[in-house]
Amino acid sequence: MPLWIDTHCHLDAPEFDADAAQVRASARAAGVHHCVIPAVERANWPAVQALAHAQGDSYALGIHPLYTPRAAMEDLDRLQQALQVARNDPRLVAVGEIGLDGFVSGLDWARQEHFYAAQLRLARDAGLPVILHVRKSADGLLKHLRRMAVPGGIAHAFNGSLQQARAFVDMGFKLGFGGAVTFDRALQLRRLLEWLPADALVLETDAPDIPPHWLYATAAARTAGQPQGRNTPAELPRIGAVVAALRGESVDALARQTTANACAALPRLQALLNTSGVVEAAA
């Protein structure tokens, strides 16, 4: 069975409060050997740390752009302290989820930029890669990355242009693909997959968000009583099969390559995989 890494899974989300351990066990049985659990705000830093240790996974600490309206400026100091305290924790693999969001109306762009730039600086000082939230914000993210070099990372749920994709890749970033690419209408994403070098993509579910097409229910269907399926990390192998077919690759080859890519983007992952007996990423 191919072994997969879900590079972006919010296992601490309320949707998993009742059965997070069971959800993780089901994903592991499906071949998802490892999950990266990014934080979104100060309040959930302890939760992602605890889940990563309990489930044998890894985590990132950061402040998500959608949470900047309720974040305090002192949270940046707390993040610096948290990164310092956890500096020797092998399961801390990145600063994230951080970034900019140009999709949700009403957000203070300048405030977002302040938190984003400050967290880039903290990542640089800690020697950690970053996990980036990219939604109608690729150019803004790149502008700050040119000013503040960090040790690479992942542009999560990437949905930008080919030119923007090349810019991230040239900076050493991997691009994350998940459920969105399973939709037939996702023509731009699918064109990106055709262009993207084999060593530049990683896979993710963003569970419980961004469900693949087989779980998605339209607003009309939900109004009519059809429930939307819950997206979990167990969906990653099926998403991977779609990506492999689009790229004309075998599923096994894609699993090995994306595992190696995840370890290149988040270097602390390799030691965790070696410790747990998964050595495919080194091949």
User: Thinking of the domain 4-282, which architecture would CATH place it in?
Assistant: Alpha-Beta Barrel (3.20)
First to last CA, the chain: 16
pTM above threshold 0.85: yes
pLDDT digits (tens, 9 = 90+) for 122-148: 999 999 999 999 999 999 999 999 999
Confidence band of 279 (pLDDT split at 50, 70, 90): low
Band (219; pLDDT cuts 50, 70, 90): confident
What confidence tens digit (pLDDT) does each residue in 31-69 have? 999 999 999 999 999 999 999 999 999 999 999 999 999
